[in-house]
Amino acid sequence: DTAVSQTPKYLVTQMGNDKSIKCEQNLGHDTMYWYKQDSKKFLKIMFSYNNKELIINETVPNRFSPKSPDKAHLNLHINSLELGDSAVYFCASSQAHKSYEQYFGPGTRLTVT
């Protein structure tokens, strides 16, 4: 069984479009995250979310918004896509008290043309 899954695995779209990436975890974790990994392989936190608190990296544009329908899902919605948004986006999850041990999804490679 896949612990953390993301869809789609690849996403190619044009500038200005709105898109969503879905993430689901079946580990029973209470905290989920979104990361962006750019072409230089730098992994940067975008959001951290549990049912009590959303922590946003202040450098993330407000075109990006996380949406959590329930504890097992944290989707990433992106408005007005830009060329610089092209990257691999990873979803991850952890127990709140073990935030260092995160389980990552397989990643979504987003290409904006």
Partner 1 sequence: GQNIDQPTEMTATEGAIVQINCTYQTSGFNGLFWYQQHAGEAPTFLSYNVLDGLEEKGRFSSFLSRSKGYSYLLLKELQMKDSASYLCAVSPLGTPLVFGKGTRLSVIA
User: In the complex, which residues of this chain contact partner 1 (CB under 8 A)?
Assistant: 33, 40-45, 48, 55, 90, 99-107
Scored b (16 or more CB within 10 A) or e, 96-105 reads: eeeeeebeeb
Do 29 and 94 touch, CB atoms closer than 8 A? Answer: yes
Task: Say how far residue 95 (Cα) sits from the centre of its chain.
Answer: 17
Could you tell me the smallest distance in angstroms from the CB atom of residue 15 to partner 1? 25
Could you tell me the smallest distance in angstroms from the CB atom of residue 17 to partner 1? 25
Using the minimum distance from each CB to partner 1, give the nearer residue, 48 or 75: 48
Could you tell me the smallest distance in angstroms from the CB atom of residue 45 to partner 1? 5
Using the minimum distance from each CB to partner 1, give the nearer residue, 56 or 72: 56
